[in-house]
């Protein structure tokens, strides 16, 4: 349930900000050749620090002109699959990743999934706070959700801290203790720098 357009949106939203920073530097007297040398670093820094909030704002605006990554439809398809397949209906616990929310334009995706799952018998759920932890405060939470047919007695979230994409998303883990002494974990590990730009699927 991730945004397949996110890499393009990150770049599209960050380039104007980076251009503004470089134009301001040139206006303040930084030589143009130095601005040109610094531009890749400025773009990378802008993508890292402001990329996701800017991309979410741009994505929200593009929604008005038909740009959509069909998150709601994908959640509906997943819920329909759970309803139609008897083998899946017998499952007690479902761990979901990349069902993100955030402070800016949250979308309501975890809520949509949790409410739909409740109607299908997974009456208990755990999800991280919609407000992501620092340094991704203006970006995305971990996107982890646990759905359970058994009552949840306790839960905890863990954010892994600083990483290549720490300002854009809270990579981490989600734990739930269920009735009967069952402990369930789901985890979304951050990709290493060597693979971060390869379009992981």
Closest to 163 measured CA to CA, from 183, 133, 186, 200: 133
**Class at the top of the CATH hierarchy for domain 70-194:** alpha beta
- Residue 90: exposure state from Cβ atoms within 10 A (0-12, 13-18, ≥19): exposed
Closest to 174 measured CA to CA, from 161, 188, 162, 163: 188
- pLDDT at residue 201 tops 50: no
pLDDT at position 199 is 38
- Per-residue pLDDT of 116-148, as tens digits, reads 999 999 999 999 987 777 777 767 788 899 999
pLDDT at position 121 is 96
pLDDT at position 105 is 67
Give, in order, the Cα–Cα distances in Å from 148 to each of 41, 90, 179, 184.
45, 11, 10, 10
Which of 97-101, 111-115, 177-181 is least confident?
97-101
pLDDT at position 122 is 97
- Per-residue pLDDT of 58-70, as tens digits, reads 666 655 555 566 7
Give 184 or 32, the one with higher predicted confidence. Answer: 184
pLDDT at position 61 is 63
Encoded tokens for 14: 């960050």
Asked if 62 and 6 count as a contact pair (C-beta separation under 8 A), the reply is no
Tracing tokens 């971990």 back to the chain, one arrives at 142
CATH 3.60.10.10 positions along the chain are 70-194
- The Cα 99–Cα 73 span in angstroms is 13
């Amino acid at each position: 349930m991730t945004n397949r357009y996110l890499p393009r949106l990150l770049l599209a939203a960050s380039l104007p900000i980076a251009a503004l920073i470089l134009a301001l530097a040139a206006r303040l007297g930084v030589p143009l050749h130095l601005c040109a040398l610094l531009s890749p670093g400025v773009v990378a820094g802008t993508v890292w620090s402001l990329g996701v909030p800017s991309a979410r704002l741009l994505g929200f605006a593009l929604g008005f002109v038909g740009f959509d990554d069909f998150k709601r439809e994908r959640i509906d398809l997943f819920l329909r699959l759970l309803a139609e397949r008897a083998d899946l209906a017998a499952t007690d616990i479902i761990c979901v990743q990349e069902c993100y929310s955030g402070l800016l334009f949250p979308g309501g995706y975890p809520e949509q999934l949790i409410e739909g799952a409740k109607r299908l018998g997974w009456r208990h759920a755990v999800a991280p706070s919609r407000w992501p932890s620092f340094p991704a405060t203006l970006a995305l939470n971990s996107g982890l959700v646990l759905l359970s047919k058994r009552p949840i007695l306790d839960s905890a979230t863990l954010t892994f801290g600083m990483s290549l994409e720490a300002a854009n998303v809270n990579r981490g883990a989600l734990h739930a203790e269920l009735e009967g002494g069952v402990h369930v974990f789901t985890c979304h590990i951050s990709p290493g720098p060597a693979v971060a730009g390869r379009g992981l699927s």
